[in-house]
């Protein structure tokens, strides 16, 4: 093992004494170690890895704090330490407060021995503080992988610390950090085995003979088949399941006699899943047959014009018997084997409206818009909980003025899914058509969808398809600069738009937006996990509106400041934007004197401006905001922030310009009587789309993707990026129908036809009143030539009509998204008058 002194060449200007090494030595003489703020030197998080939890002794499954556990790897610049995160801190991961690439301060830790295994133990981090800033440690490290792993004396043979496996040895593998569908870790094998073995194809049997062989004692003869469809991975791990690698994937395979389903099980998935691709030829031995599972989605294969054998399916198991799988390289495939060609059903955009709802198609297009990756919780209400990851895409193919609107869920291809960007050629297979009344149709993923982008098309079976060749010819007529001007990446996006009539059915709730009580909204907001999206509706009255202009931009649309304005009605609600409170200066809101002191320490926002909201204007020492996980300190911070917010809210409303704000005549009195005002809603940097440029590609992808599991030095910093121009946004206060709870929400209307949200939006003319804009979602008419000054004049005219909101009963559809840390996006999607509500 290298000593700390031998690592000095890797790190510049760091002390030779290692904080991690010193901490491990202190743990040898105490059961639990508490560190003071002075002792807790910042360490950087370089890896955060997730795996299925297991109950501790005497603990039932339902008593689990969380379904998953986390290992984190930290470094002080001299050593790396792989640690277990205490389950009580998992919430920091759920909200992306604890994340790779940032610093933490370890406040309490212990060393845990495995009582059932000799020579095994690990550090458990029990309390920590998280920095909101980028790491101060990582920029000084040349090669993170060169730093040695810290191991307790006497445990040098502990291979778990050195391997890509969980520290809690009952688990054998990690899961992807944000979903269960993507392969994660070094165990997933890619490429072909080399060299190809000699295959005896003289005794192969056809798929057509397998149905008659089912339930009969027989010795399976080899199969020679081609993969024509492939599903995403399915992880079926759960508490108490004693299977090391609970994975499953299914395929549709074909030979000259027809097609049949094939299922790959358990540890064969890490070894073969990424090698068994569509178009690959398999030579199979020692397989088994079982009755086909009916409760499973299947690809639509009518276009193959082949007989489907649907009564049985082929199973490839790791044991009893152990299947023998040979993936034949393409150069070794012989024509005399008679294997069918892979067939596709590419559809052009001009043909999409003609397809029936639910039908399948393949598409190819030039990407013009890429939405941020979001997550949605699986509706299966049992542990362990699961999240799906997805993103929205626009792609054009030259056959229509409208793009393909694609809802792409993770397809177990993270290396492609995370690299989708404008100006790439996208192929997406087995998409399902969703026809929308009153809007454009869109396509959504199926379990069998695969995606490919520029750089991954070579060797794919579709490259010779006539429609693919026709598309490539069309792209040669395009000019990059012209297309680039119409591209966008990231920001809030939701499709399809809500229907014209809000329907609530007591018998059939499927497909409708849930109407929740205002009192439930707080719980919904607090339960959101990182990038989780929910759509909810509440009823009540809009009691206040304010318009906030967009910060000044350069001619290229690049922001002058690093942060755009926060939500207008709660700009004052985030005092950390100007001066974060630190643990050294706690604030108590229990008296008027303490509130006065708070106002002295934190400058008032008389008007939201880029300079007042720019984090960069705060001195670096004060910006390093460690959020201690101790519950008492968190409660104290929350109470002081709440008191400060109420004082600032009143001061801000008094200073608003009448031309750019409105409030109902009864709001001042009602505000004194409400039990709670939820100020989380606002506009955040990640709420807005950016204009795509090749120079900023890495930074734009980082911003729209999820936080990575591992930190790499190649990850770009989040600099100021060119935005899609917008004049500003509205901040609204919605008072619940029972006048007990109020919530703030932002409204960002569509004003330009090149806004991605304009696609599919019903643009029926309206009178540009405040209520009609909230109902339609856009300013009428959309203008691509209007300057910001003209748009601001329109905003003033719109706000002048806000008085029609006085005492008006409305239903507001809200889009909620947790953007990481304390940032929660609450945006108004649509506002219904009561006359537009239908109850059944």
Please give the full DSSP string across 26-63, using - where no structure is assigned: HHTT-SEEE--TTT---EEEEEEEEEE--PPTT--GGG
Asked if 206 and 264 touch (Cβ cutoff 8 Å), the reply is no
C-beta pairs of 19-22 under 8 Å, 24+ apart in sequence: 19/43, 19/76, 20/74, 20/75, 20/76, 20/78, 20/79, 20/80, 20/81, 20/150, 21/78, 21/79, 21/150
- Residues of the chain short of pLDDT 50, as ranges, are 1-15, 58, 61-63, 553-557, 559-658
Give the pLDDT score at 541: 96
* φ, ψ of residue 61 in degrees (nearest 5): -60, -45
Give the pLDDT score at 796: 82
- Six token digits for residue 291: 């009755």
Query: Within 13 Å of residue 204, how many CA atoms lie on the same side as its CB?
Result: 19
Helix (H, G, I), strand (E, B) or coil at 258: strand
Regarding beta strands 442-444 and 374-377, do their DSSP bridges make them parallel or antiparallel, or are they unpaired? unpaired
Spatial distance between the Cα atoms of 812 and 824, rounded to a whole number of angstroms: 17
Helix (H, G, I), strand (E, B) or coil at 668: helix
Asked if 681 and 741 touch (Cβ cutoff 8 Å), the reply is no
Helix (H, G, I), strand (E, B) or coil at 96: coil
The count of other CB atoms within 10 Å of the CB of residue 437 is 7
Annotate 717-745 with three-state secondary structure.
CCCCCEECCCCEEEEEEEEECCCCEEEEE
User: Between the CA atoms of 16, 18, 21 and 22, what dihedral angle is there, to the nearest 10 degrees?
Assistant: 100
Asked if 688 and 704 touch (Cβ cutoff 8 Å), the reply is no
> What pLDDT, in 10s, does the model give residues 481-492?
999 999 999 999
Question: Please, what's the largest Cα pairwise distance for the chain?
Answer: 92
Spatial distance between the Cα atoms of 238 and 507, rounded to a whole number of angstroms: 33
Report pTM.
Answer: 0.85
- Six token digits for residue 7: 């690592």
Beta-bridge partner residues of 539: 811
Give the pLDDT score at 770: 95
Give the pLDDT score at 345: 96
Spatial distance between the Cα atoms of 452 and 751, rounded to a whole number of angstroms: 33
* Cα angle 480, 482, 484; round to 5: 65
Asked if 513 and 535 touch (Cβ cutoff 8 Å), the reply is yes
DSSP structure class, residue 88? G
Query: Within 13 Å of residue 199, how many CA atoms lie on the same side as its CB?
Result: 22
Asked if 269 and 245 touch (Cβ cutoff 8 Å), the reply is yes
């Amino acid at each position: 093992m290298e000593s700390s002194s031998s690592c000095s060449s890797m790190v510049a200007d760091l002390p030779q004494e290692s904080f991690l090494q010193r901490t491990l030595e202190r743990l040898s003489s105490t059961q639990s170690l508490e560190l003071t703020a002075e002792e807790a030197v910042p360490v950087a998080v370089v890896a955060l890895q997730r795996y299925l939890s297991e109950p501790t002794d005497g603990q039932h499954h339902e008593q689990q704090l969380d379904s998953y556990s986390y290992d984190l790897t930290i470094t002080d610049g001299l050593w790396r330490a792989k640690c277990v995160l205490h389950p009580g801190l998992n919430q920091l991961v759920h909200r992306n407060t604890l994340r790779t690439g940032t610093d933490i301060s370890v406040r309490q830790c212990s060393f845990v021995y495995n009582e059932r295994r000799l020579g095994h133990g690990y550090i458990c981090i029990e309390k920590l503080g998280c920095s909101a800033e980028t790491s101060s440690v990582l920029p000084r490290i040349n090669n993170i992988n060169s730093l040695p792993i810290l191991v307790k004396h006497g445990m040098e043979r502990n291979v778990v610390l050195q391997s890509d496996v969980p520290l809690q040895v009952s688990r054998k593998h990690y899961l992807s950090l944000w979903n269960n569908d993507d392969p994660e870790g070094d165990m997933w094998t890619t490429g072909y085995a080399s060299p190809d073995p000699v295959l005896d194809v003289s005794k192969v049997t056809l798929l057509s003979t397998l149905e008659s062989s089912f339930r009969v004692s027989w010795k399976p003869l080899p199969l020679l088949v081609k993969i024509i469809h492939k599903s995403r991975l399915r992880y079926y791990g759960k508490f108490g399941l004693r299977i090391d690698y609970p994975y499953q994937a299914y395929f549709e395979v074909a030979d000259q006699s027809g097609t049949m389903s094939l299922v790959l099980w358990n540890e064969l998935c890490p070894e073969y899943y990424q090698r068994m691709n569509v178009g690959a030829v398999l030579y199979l031995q020692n397989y088994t047959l079982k009755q086909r599972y009916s409760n499973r989605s299947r690809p639509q294969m009518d276009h193959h014009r082949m007989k489907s054998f649907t009564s049985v399916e082929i199973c490839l198991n790791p044991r009893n018997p152990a299947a023998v799988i040979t993936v034949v390289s393409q150069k070794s495939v012989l024509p005399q084997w008679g294997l069918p060609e892979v067939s596709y059903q590419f559809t052009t955009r001009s043909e999409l409206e003609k397809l029936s709802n639910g039908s399948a198609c393949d598409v190819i297009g030039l990407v013009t818009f890429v939405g941020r990756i979001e997550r949605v919780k699986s509706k299966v209400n049992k542990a362990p909980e699961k999240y799906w990851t997805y993103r929205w895409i626009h792609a054009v193919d030259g056959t229509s003025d409208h793009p393909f609107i694609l809802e792409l869920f993770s397809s177990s291809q993270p290396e492609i899914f995370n690299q989708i960007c404008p100006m790439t050629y996208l192929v997406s297979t087995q998409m399902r058509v969703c026809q929308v009344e009153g809007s454009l149709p869109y396509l959504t993923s199926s379990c069998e969808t695969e995606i490919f982008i520029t750089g991954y098309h070579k060797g794919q079976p579709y490259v010779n398809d006539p429609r693919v060749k026709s598309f490539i010819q069309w792209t040669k007529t395009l000019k990059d600069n012209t297309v680039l001007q119409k591209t966008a990446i990231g920001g809030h996006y939701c499709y399809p738009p809500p229907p014209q009539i809000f329907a609530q059915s007591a018998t059939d709730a499927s497909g409708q937006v849930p109407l929740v009580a205002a009192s439930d909204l707080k719980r919904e907001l607090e339960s959101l996990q990182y990038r989780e999206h929910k759509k909810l509706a509440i009823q009540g009255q809009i009691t206040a509106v304010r318009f906030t202009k967009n910060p000044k931009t350069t001619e290229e649309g690049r922001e002058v400041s690093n942060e755009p304005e926060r939500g207008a009605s709660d700009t004052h609600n985030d005092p950390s934007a100007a001066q974060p409170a630190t643990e050294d200066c706690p604030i108590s809101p229990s008296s008027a004197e303490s509130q006065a002191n708070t106002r002295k320490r934190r400058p008032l926002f008389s008007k939201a401006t880029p300079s007042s909201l720019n984090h960069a204007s705060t001195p670096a020492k004060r910006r390093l905001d460690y959020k201690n996980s101790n519950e008492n300190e968190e409660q104290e911070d929350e109470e002081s922030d709440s008191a400060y917010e109420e004082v600032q809210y009143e001061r801000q409303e008094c200073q608003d310009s009448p031309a750019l704000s409105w409030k109902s005549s009864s709001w001042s009195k009602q505000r004194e009587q409400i039990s709670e005002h939820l100020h989380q809603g606002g506009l955040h940097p990640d709420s807005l789309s950016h204009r795509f440029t090749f120079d900023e590609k890495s930074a734009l992808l980082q911003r729209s993707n999820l936080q990575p599991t591992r930190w790499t030095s190649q990850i770009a910093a989040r600099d100021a990026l060119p935005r899609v121009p917008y004049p500003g946004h509205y901040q609204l206060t919605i008072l619940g129908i029972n006048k007990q709870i109020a919530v703030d929400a932002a409204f960002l209307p569509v004003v330009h036809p090149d806004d991605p949200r304009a696609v599919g939006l019903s643009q029926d003319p309206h009178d540009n009143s405040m209520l009609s804009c909230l109902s339609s979602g856009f300013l009428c008419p959309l203008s691509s030539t209007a300057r910001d000054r003209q748009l601001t004049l329109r905003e003033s005219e719109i706000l002048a009509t806000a008085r029609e909101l006085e005492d008006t009963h409305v239903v507001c559809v809200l889009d909620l998204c947790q953007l990481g840390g304390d940032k929660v996006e609450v945006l108004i999607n649509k506002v219904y008058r009561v006359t537009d509500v239908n109850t059944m």
